[in-house]
């Protein structure tokens, strides 16, 4: 196993200290002795000077001295004072010569050598902080290249995206047997764009294509093309395609294509010329690309609506493959793949977990298994059981459980009635999702309790009555507080916001209102695969009078549903109080306990 050493600034300090110590030692051992000029004249008169080298202002040479009873020759140096020195030297038959003083060695040691040392340290630190960076590496391609043997991902490792895999099988067949397609005169798409929400396995699918085809795999993020220097991104695009042609057949995978592929000329804040030049170069490379070379370009994005139309035209990314969130069958298949790496208890039913996780992506499901494994290890269990998986799902949906948070009894009672109100309205509203769990244990940042509902099946369409039922359930907590305590708290803030959003969407987008009829005014530039919380603020394409009518009808819908919910909870007030008391006692009620109490109240028996 390769060991990696960590760089420390102390290494530099020790190295500098060592160089200074060595320099002092050499200077003390080999440097000539500096003698006064008078001592030099005395030695000259006593015939103890052996030879000298004369520069413009300094005299250096060798003289005889007697130290500790022994005579020896030592190097000396002194500053020149006497201008008639040559006459004295001649009288005593001493060899002497003049020599112009050279500043090369002095300059080398004074500033050239330190400059090289500091440059070397700077280069070393830059390499440590940013491997692969350097003065000449700005235009180099930053794509990671995986050889055929390095990719062990196959289609069998990808679950929940059967339609997307079927679309990509043709790419694999073409890379394996290009002659079969070329013989008929057909050509494969130059580019395949994988679109879908985050975490659905777009990158995993691209690796599976390369693994199935057994070809080299170039992978790079869109943001890695763009630098602060104009022209660098375009140079990297050129080098990437040049390397791909040399290793053909191969696959180029560009992740987060929207980082460089956004529509040009859009009124975006902080326009970037470098990004546009990079996009232009990518368009040129794809347009002049010969499909017979055997290079397939894959790209992934969750913002296809922002891409430049030139990227999506025929001859470039002319095939789009949707990688959507998996349905209940796909979620179960994904869970089966991820549980292969963990120890699972015999009583675990992955089908139940798949039903409890509607809307989860593949990455979310992988996180569920990992969280369950961590919880089981924390409790010193031999295997993961259903309790660990249930707790992992709750943790991902609602946040970390905070049992140690101190809540005063009054607030806890308000939370209990609030959550019971949600649950009872869901239980008595036709078409509402079934209540799975009621909890008053705080979770996450601000959740003091929650009511978890699970759909019996995946839904892709909703009727007007079902949407109104969702509004009723959301208003149940607020109405329960008002009925029991005669006042309301701030705990219904998020419920009211979501209820208002549903009512507004019914009127302005779904044509389910009475004021506008079938006319719709949807939000502008709605992201295709992002949640409403991630959507940017959009303007409106209607008049102030229309906006006032919209607001009025939304208010009427919410007010009317609130009145109906109040009437329902008032009718079942005894059950509301009984369930809230049981919730205060246990803090958590599961589906069986809750519906047993509801059924007992209907039949007049005891739970």
Task: Kindly provide the residue ranges of all beta strands, DSSP E only, lying in 315-418, ordered along the sequence.
Answer: 319-322
Known binding residue 255? Answer is no
Residues 250 and 216 sit within 8 Å (Cβ to Cβ): yes
| Residues sharing a CB contact under 8 Å with residue 260, sequence separation 6 or more, in sequence order | 222, 223, 225, 226, 233, 275, 278, 279, 282
Name the residue among 510, 397, 514 with its Cα closest to residue 461.
510
Q: d(Cα 191, Cα 299) in Å, to the nearest integer?
A: 8
The tally of CA atoms less than 13 A away on the side-chain side of residue 226 is: 19
Any idea how long the chain is?
Answer: 607
Cα–Cα distances (Å) from 144 to 151, 225, 293, 605, in that order, read 12, 13, 21, 68
Query: Strands (DSSP E) along 234-368, which ranges?
Result: 250-255, 295-301, 319-322
CA–CA separation, 607 and 595 (whole Å): 9
Helix (H) or strand (E) holding 485: helix 464-485
What does R_g of the chain's alpha carbons equal in angstroms? 40
Q: Is 198 annotated as a binding residue?
A: yes
Please say if 592 is a catalytic residue.
no
Catalytic residue among 224, 285, 413, 419: 419
CA 272 distance to own-chain centroid: 22
Strand order through the sheet with 434-439? 450-454, 434-439, 588-590
Structural element, H or E, at residue 30: helix 9-30
Residue 422 marked ligand-binding:
yes
- Other CB atoms within a 10 A radius of the CB of residue 577 amount to 15
Q: What is the DSSP letter of 109?
A: I
Residues in CB range of 447: below 8 A, 6 or more apart: 398, 399
Say if residue 203 carries a ligand binding annotation: yes
Residue 201 assigned as binding residue: yes
3-state secondary structure of 15: helix
Tell me how many helices (H) and strands (E) the chain has: 22, 14
In the numeric block, the tokens 């040049």 are attached to 242
Q: Please, which residues have CB within 8 angstroms of residue 124's CB and are 6 or more apart in sequence?
A: none
Q: What is the Cα–Cα distance from 330 to 350, expressed in whole angstroms? A: 11
The DSSP annotation for 387-409 comes to HHHHHHHHHHHH--B-TT----H
By CB atoms closer than 10 A (0-12, 13-18, 19+), residue 536 is: exposed
- Residue partners of 426: CB distance under 8 A and separation at least 6: 432, 433, 434, 435, 451, 453, 473, 476
**Torsion, CA 439, CA 441, CA 447, CA 453, rounded to 10:** -20
- How far apart are alpha carbons 252 and 296 in whole angstroms? 6
Q: Are 250 and 209 in contact (CB under 8 A)?
A: no
Q: Is 197 annotated as a binding residue?
A: yes
The catalytic residues are 419
Which residues fall in the annotated binding site for ATP?
196-203
**What residues form the annotated binding site for Zn(2+)?**
418, 422, 495
* Binding-site residues from annotation: 196-203, 418, 422, 495
């Amino acid at each position: 196993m390769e060991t990696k050493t960590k760089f420390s600034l102390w290494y530099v300090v020790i190295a500098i200290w060592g160089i200074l110590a060595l320099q002092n030692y050499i200077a003390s051992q080999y440097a000539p002795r500096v003698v006064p000029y008078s001592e030099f004249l005395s030695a000259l008169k006593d015939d103890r000077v052996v030879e000298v080298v004369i520069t413009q202002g300094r005299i250096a040479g060798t003289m005889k001295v007697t130290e500790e009873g022994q005579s020896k020759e030592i190097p000396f140096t002194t500053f020149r004072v006497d201008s008639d020195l040559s006459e004295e030297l001649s009288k005593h038959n001493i060899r002497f010569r003049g020599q112009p003083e050279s500043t090369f060695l002095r300059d080398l040691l004074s500033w050239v050598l330190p400059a090289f040392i500091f440059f070397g340290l700077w280069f070393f630190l830059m390499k440590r902080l940013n491997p692969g960076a350097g003065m000449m590496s700005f235009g180099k391609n930053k794509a990671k290249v995986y050889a055929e043997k390095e990719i062990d991902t196959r289609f069998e490792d990808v679950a929940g995206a059967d339609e997307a895999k079927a679309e990509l099988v043709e790419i694999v067949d073409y890379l394996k047997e290009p002659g079969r397609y070329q013989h008929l005169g057909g050509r494969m798409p130059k580019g395949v764009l994988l679109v879908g929400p985050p975490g659905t396995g777009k990158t995993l699918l691209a690796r599976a294509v390369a693994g199935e085809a057994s070809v080299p795999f170039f992978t790079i993020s869109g943001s890695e093309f763009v630098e602060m220097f104009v022209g660098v991104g375009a140079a990297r695009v050129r080098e990437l395609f040049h390397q791909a042609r040399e290793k053909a057949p191969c696959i180029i995978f560009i992740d987060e294509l929207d980082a460089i592929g956004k529509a040009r000329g859009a009124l975006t804040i902080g326009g970037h010329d470098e990004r546009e030049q990079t996009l232009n170069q990518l368009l040129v490379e794809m347009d002049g690309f010969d499909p017979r070379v055997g290079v397939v370009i894959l790209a992934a994005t969750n913002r296809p609506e922002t891409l430049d139309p030139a990227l999506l035209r025929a001859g470039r990314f002319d095939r789009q493959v949707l990688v959507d969130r998996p349905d209940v069958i796909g979620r179960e298949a994904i869970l089966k793949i991820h549980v292969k790496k963990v120890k699972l208890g015999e009583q675990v039913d992955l089908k139940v977990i798949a039903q409890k996780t509607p809307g989860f992506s593949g990455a979310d499901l992988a996180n569920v298994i990992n969280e369950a494994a961590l919880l089981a290890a924390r409790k010193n269990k031999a295997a993961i059981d259903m309790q660990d998986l249930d707790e992992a799902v709750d943790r991902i949906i609602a946040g970390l459980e905070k049992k140690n948070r101190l809540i005063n009894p009054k607030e806890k009672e308000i939370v209990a009635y609030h959550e019971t109100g949600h649950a009872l309205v869901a239980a008595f509203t036709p078409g509402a999702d079934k209540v799975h769990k009621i909890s008053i244990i705080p979770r996450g940042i601000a959740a003091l309790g929650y009511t978890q509902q699970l759909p019996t099946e995946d839904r892709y369409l909703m009727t007007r009555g079902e949407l109104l039922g969702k509004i009723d359930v959301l208003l149940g907590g607020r109405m329960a507080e008002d009925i029991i305590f005669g006042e309301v708290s701030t705990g219904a803030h998020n419920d009211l916001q979501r209820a208002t959003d549903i009512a507004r969407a019914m009127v302005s987008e779904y044509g389910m209102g009475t004021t506008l009829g079938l006319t719709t005014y949807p939000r502008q530039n709605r992201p295709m695969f992002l949640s409403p919380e991630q959507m940017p603020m959009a303007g409106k394409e209607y008049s102030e009078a229309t906006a006032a009518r919209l607001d009025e009808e939304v208010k009427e819908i919410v007010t009317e549903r609130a009145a109906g919910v109040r009437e329902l909870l008032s009718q079942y007030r005894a059950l509301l109080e009984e369930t809230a008391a049981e919730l205060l006692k246990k803090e958590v009620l599961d589906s069986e306990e809750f519906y047993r109490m509801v059924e007992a109240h209907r039949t007049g028996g005891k739970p």
